[in-house]
Structure 1
Amino acid sequence: MAELNELISEQLFAVVAVLAVLVFLLLIIVLTQSVKLGRLRKRYERMMAGAGVEDLESLLLNLKMQTDSVEDEQEKQRRTMMMIEQRQRMAKSKLGIKRYNAFSDQGSDLSFSLALLDDMDNGIVMSGLHNRDSSYVYAKPVEQGDSKYALSPEEKEAIEQARREGRG
Structure 2
Amino acid sequence: MGDWLLEPAGIAIILVAAVILLLMIWIGVLSSKVKKLRKSYMATMGETGITNMEDVVIELRKQIEDNRLYSNQLHQRLAEVEAKLPAMKSMVGVVRYNAFSDHGSDLSFSIALLSPKQDGVVFSGLHGRDSTYVYAKPVTDGESSYPLTPEERKAIQEAK
TM-score by length of 2: 0.63
Aligned residue in 2 for 1:60:
57
Give the Cα–Cα distance (whole angstroms) in 1 for the partners of residues 46 and 147 of structure 2.
77
State the Cα distance separating 1:142 from its structure 2 match: 1.3
Asked if the contact 1:96/1:159 (under 8 Å) is kept, the reply is yes
Q: 2:117 is matched with which residue: 120, 131, 134? A: 120
Aligned residue in 1 for 2:149:
152
How many equivalent residue pairs?
Answer: 132
State the Cα distance separating 1:124 from its structure 2 match: 1.1
Identity of aligned residues (%): 42
Aligned residue in 2 for 1:136:
133
- The correspondence of residues 1-150 of structure 1 with structure 2, limited to 5 A, is 42=37, 46=42, 47=44, 51-53=48-50, 55-150=52-147
Q: What's the secondary structure of 2:136's corresponding residue?
A: strand
Gapped runs of 5+ residues in structure 2?
A: 1-25
In structure 2, give the amino acid aligned to 1:143: T
Instruction: State the structure with more CA Rg.
Output: 1
State the Cα distance separating 1:155 from its structure 2 match: 0.8
Q: Return structure 1 stretches of 4+ with deviation > 6 angstroms.
A: none
Cα 1:49/1:77, change in 2 over 3 Å: closer
Gapped runs of 5+ residues in structure 1?
A: 1-30, 164-168
State the Cα distance separating 1:118 from its structure 2 match: 2.1
State the Cα distance separating 1:65 from its structure 2 match: 1.3
TM-score by length of 1: 0.61
Q: What's the secondary structure of 2:124's corresponding residue?
A: strand
Deviation per residue, 1:34-91 (Å, 9 max, x gap): x7xx85xx56865557555454433322211111111111221222233334444433
